[in-house]
A and B are shown apart, each in its own frame.
Chain A
Amino acid sequence: MLTRALVLSLTLVALSSPLRAEDIVTYETTLKDKAFTVSEIKVPAGKPFIIKLNNANAAAAELEAKELKVEKAVAGNSSIVVRVKAMEPGKYLFVDEYQEDVAKGYVIVE
């Protein structure tokens, strides 16, 4: 019961806090066939950011960036956004997991 109360109150607190997506910079890229139109996304270090992925293919895709803790499915011909926490400078790979050998890009944090 305690757990339930805890989880419920956590969820309620969470849902009542305002979405602050507007404070954050969004970087956009599009997956078309087997490639990302923007395959190098440059972001400043130490700041959270949002990646918006448009999937221009009919097939679904899954945006995956292990080090950025991103793993999110995107339906065909639609878009998703993912929040990434503040990162240290570095070059981080992102892929379409469903065709990860070819569909690659990098987030360059500097």
Chain B
Amino acid sequence: MIGALIIVFREVIEAGLIIGIVMAATQTVMGSRMWIMGGVLAGIIGSCILAAFTGSLASLFDGFGQEIFNASILAVAVCMLTWHNIWMALNGRAMAGELKQAGIAVREGQKSLMALAIIVGTAVLREGSEVVLFLYGVAIGGRETASGMALGGALGLAIGGAVSFLTFRGLLKIPNRYFFSVTSWLITFLAAGMAAQSVSFLEKAGLVEVLQNTVWDSSKYLAESGIPGRILHTLIGYSDQPTVLQFIVYLAVLSIGFGLTKWISRPRLRTV
């Protein structure tokens, strides 16, 4: 049972953290809950469909269909996250401050919320299909402890959900003054980490063969495969053996994200 719990929890935690951050970041945007829930739901349905087609997906692109699929949806999520950050830099402050603008903000905001629903949906999709495959394997039997494993799986899901909720509540405790900056930093780091991960999938598929030297190896101190490593991997894109290319892409997305947000929200001269 514990084994099943850990397997499912490990898959769920990444999506859980992302959902928590996105929920907190869009707290002030009206209608954001609906979109996020929609994203989660679409992700779950997508996971079931993806799980059913795992075999055929795997056989695409000389056997590297899964990697290319993962790299692509991560790239989509990176674009959506960056776009959301820019949108929040343009509108976020005004929205939080002035109620009269709320109507306009909501109308404009739908586009940004759509982007967030896609981010949440892809996060659930990436991790979810493996959970579905695993639980399906348990359900069709062949293993003695099926009921214990099903229970473990359910608990893993529940704990993953709790992580998502705690992330959300924890972020809301941040004082208003810093809230906007903290959530946009978090989103920039998420995007950079996902971009590096997307590169790593392209490398695994053998599609990218440049700059493949390892920058550092910290696997002995903080393994990426353990739970703390995995959390850091999701939050800031921690990798225990990054390649030069992953590192460059990571830094590039990070500086583009910070640079753009800073540039947009720079103080402007105003004529009164």
| A binding-site residues for B, Cβ under 8 Å | 2-4, 6-8, 10-11, 14-15, 17, 19-21, 24, 52, 57-62, 66-67, 69, 71-83, 85, 97-101
Contact = CB atoms under 8 A, between A and B. Distances in A.
SS of B interface (majority): helix
A73 B11 CA distance: 12
B204 A14 contact: no
Contact of A72 (B66, B75, B140, B249): B66
B110 interface: no
B199 A10 contact: yes
Interface in B41-98: 51, 54-55, 58-59, 61-64, 66, 71-72, 75, 78-79, 82-83
A69 B64 CA distance: 15
- 5 nearest A-B residue pairs (beta carbon): A59-B137, A81-B63, A60-B133, A78-B55, A75-B55
B174 interface: no
B233 to A, nearest CB: 12
Given A74-B58, A80-B63, A58 B142 contact: yes
A32 B241 CA distance: 32
A11 B212 CA distance: 16
Contacts of B191: 3
A104 to B, nearest CB: 14
A21 B206 contact: yes
B208 to A, nearest CB: 5
A35 B63 CA distance: 23
A30 to B, nearest CB: 15
B137 A60 contact: yes
A75 B79 contact: no
Nearest to B201: A14
29 contacts: A2-B260, A3-B79, A3-B195, A6-B253, A7-B79, A11-B75, A15-B207, A17-B207, A20-B209, A21-B206, A58-B140, A59-B137, A62-B134, A69-B204, A72-B66, A73-B54, A74-B58, A75-B55, A75-B58, A76-B140, A78-B59, A79-B58, A80-B58, A80-B66, A83-B205, A83-B206, A85-B212, A97-B7, A101-B3
Contacts of B138: 59
Interface in B136-151: 136-138, 140, 142-143
Contacts of A97: 7
Nearest to A100: B3
Interface core residue of A17, A57, A73, A79 (most chain B CB under 10 Å) = A73
Contacts of B137: 59-61, 76, 98
A60 B58 CA distance: 13
B256 interface: yes
A14 B78 CA distance: 17
B225 A7 contact: no
Contacts of A98: 7, 134, 137
Contacts of A80: 58, 63, 66
Contact of A17 (B129, B199, B208): B208
Given A58-B142, A75-B58, A98-B137, A83 B204 contact: yes
